Amino acid sequence: MFPERLRNLCLLTLDEARDRRVKIAAAESCTGGLLAGLFTEFSGSSDVFERGYVTYSNRSKEEMLGVAGDIIADYGAVSEAVARLMAEGALENSRANLAIAVTGIAGPGGGTPMKPVGTVHIACARENKAVMHEACYFGDIGRHEVRIATLEAALVLIRKQIP
């Protein structure tokens, strides 16, 4: 289901998190649960992957993660502000000590001149550390490809927050 390079990167991430006793939660919008699916592809991942939230709608971001509706209205669901709040909300509402959040426009529609298809914001929150954020501009490379590229970028950001 997932490309081999992504599976390998996920295994490395799981091993590093396991070695440092890091528990991970995921809050996903444009990936629709694929990150949780990738983590749970591997036997024994439950000692690292704590839970996932699929918050595809704006209301679910509010209800499940505590993202304020006015922030979504002011900045848009696909924004640095919302990604950061999603990560913080996943951390706060779980037993994890690291949370990753992704929100973006996978396409083929939904883009605007200011936020074209392929725009993704990823944030990673870790207890006692500053929230990290990365804006990705994959372009209109196809819905599946944007989602796969988002998974890879999310894993890379997680690995930066593990140490």
- In the predicted model, what is the mean pLDDT of residues 107-127? 97
Query: How many angstroms separate the CA atoms of 30 and 10, rounded?
Result: 19
pTM: 0.98
**Whole-number average pLDDT of the chain:** 98
Q: Predicted confidence band at 23 (pLDDT cuts at 50, 70, 90)?
A: very high
Query: How many angstroms separate the CA atoms of 48 and 59, rounded?
Result: 28
pLDDT of residue 1: 87
Question: pLDDT tens-digit profile of 40-70?
Answer: 999 999 999 999 999 999 999 999 999 999 9
Domains with residue ranges and CATH for the chain = 4-161 (3.90.950.20)
Can you tell me whether residue 31 is helix, strand or coil? Answer: coil
